Amino acid sequence: MSSWAGRTAAEIAAAVRAKEVTPREVVAEHLARIERLDGRVGAFRTVRAEAALAEADAVAARADLAELPLAGVPVAVKDNLAVRGESHRDGSAATPDTPATEDHVTVARLRAAGAVVVGLTNVPELCVFGTTEGVYGTARNPWDTSRNAGGSSGGSAAAVAAGLVPLALGNDGMGSLRIPAANCGLVTLKPGHGVVPAGIGNGDWFGMSENGPLATTVEDLRLMLSVLADTEFVRPEERTQLRIAVGLRSPVAGVSVSRPYTTAVRQAAGVLAKAGHRVRRAEPPYPLSLSVTSLQHWTAGTAVDAEGLDPARLARRTRVHAAVGRRFLRSVRTGDQRERLRARLTPFFTEHDVLLTLALARRSPKAAPWHERGWLRNIVVNSAYSPFTPPWNLTGWPAMSIPFGTLPSGAPCAVQLVGRPGMEANLLALAEQLETLHPWRRTAPLADQR
């Protein structure tokens, strides 16, 4: 392993601030790793090699270098967010290949903090599905390249898990940060509504989509989230005893869950109980209508994002998804269903501080051309493996995916933590306890191969 590629963002930034290494040296090592490994991973749609090196030099010349929280840290950006000078294609041949004139606000905050954007990462078309593949390639899980990395922030997750960058920016409308993080052994946090600026697509999927970080350690996650939110998420000085509910039942009726994920949740519950928290089994009162509500919002968001695009240049599954969603636009836009769900779940989160549940119901699908397959087949596969993430986009409440244990294949397993609005710092503290008491391997074995 090279001396800087594979290090944490916190380590890199500290070394750059102390002038132990230059931003150019750090970025060059990561670019070399991308060139060596990304052909097997498929994380990036485009790599900004020359531009990134120039940006690294600009960071080195900044008068405030010693104060930059992400000094010289290479980052990857999901290909549905604007990076100045680059087009963002949103995984589609139907989107314009026009360079952005300004950075998205989250990208601007990362750059202001000293980060260097090395490339834009692959996504499924219009970021619709929980697998990442399409006209720009397939993002594979670095732990098991026969499997998809997940979606829709699959390229960003694959880049971090393979050690191509220490941090990546993604977003989450129905689980699009947590799904690939769970597949790829990363820690992520979908912040609550309004914590991080959104501005994703045409209306943020009615306010359900949130931008957030993907990282290999809680320290790095906290660091990047603080930059994105322009608010410091500090560690509590004293550990607070939290009331933690453990839920094992799928929110979507009829979806079964696999044993490795339920085992991970039970073991994580035991770790948190030993750490002094009040942990007990309790299932949230998910309504039977949740699957229908999720489908209506999921498809309606795509209907809005597809407006103005040439349908002939969209994949068939995307066209069908958007056509279905147009039927629900009026009812979804009222927000009534989401408000009823919040009202139903609020008493549960009055009685409990945090919900610990499965991150996924089973491992990710094979790395196959899902974009060439039918809409219904994609819906069934996505719903069967990721029923646990959508409720928390519908409510707008913070939710995390944390690596915990391994699958029989040796790939990472994961659990999910959910909290009330404003509990991001508490969730980070819990995740850090899990990391300390049950550490995970930070990067996939693929990243060690030259």
pLDDT, tens digit (0-9, with 9 covering 90-100), for 49-81: 999 999 999 999 999 999 999 999 999 999 999
Note if 258 is an active site residue: no
Write the CA distances from 55 to 23, 146, 199, 358, 387, integer angstroms: 9, 35, 24, 40, 41
Average pLDDT over residues 251-269: 97
In angstroms, the CA 171 to CA 389 distance is 13
Region of poorest pLDDT, from 1-10, 152-161, 291-300: 1-10
| pLDDT value, residue 234 | 84
- pLDDT tens digit sequence for 300-344: 999 999 999 999 999 999 999 999 999 999 999 999 999 999 999
| pLDDT value, residue 238 | 75
| Whether residue 89 has pLDDT greater than 70 | yes
Residues 6+ apart with CB under 8 A from 437: 271, 274, 275
Q: What is the DSSP letter of 126?
A: G
| Whether residue 1 has pLDDT greater than 50 | no
Model confidence at 448, pLDDT cuts 50, 70, 90, reads low
Residues in the chain: 450
Model confidence at 236, pLDDT cuts 50, 70, 90, reads confident
Instruction: Please provide the distance, in angstroms rounded to a whole number, between the alpha carbons at the two ends of the chain.
Output: 8
| Whether residue 447 has pLDDT greater than 60 | no
Average pLDDT, the chain: 96
Superfamily per CATH, domain 9-448: Amidase signature (AS) domain (3.90.1300.10)
In angstroms, the CA 12 to CA 34 distance is 17
| Whether residue 3 has pLDDT greater than 90 | no
- pLDDT tens digit sequence for 163-193: 999 999 999 999 999 999 999 999 999 999 9
Q: Could you tell me what percent of the chain has a pLDDT over 90?
A: 96
| pLDDT value, residue 436 | 97
Which member of 92, 156, 176, 386 is catalytic? 176
Which member of 92, 152, 250, 386 is catalytic? 152
- pLDDT tens digit sequence for 94-109: 999 999 999 999 999 9
In angstroms, the CA 150 to CA 130 distance is 5
Average pLDDT over residues 213-229: 98
Residues 6+ apart with CB under 8 A from 310: 94
Average pLDDT over residues 369-378: 97
Shortest CA distance to 117 belongs to which of 157, 81, 154? Answer: 81
Write the CA distances from 409 to 145, 154, 212, 242, integer angstroms: 12, 20, 28, 33
In angstroms, the CA 225 to CA 427 distance is 13
| pLDDT value, residue 450 | 41
Note if 3 is an active site residue: no
90 near 79, Cβ under 8 Å?
yes
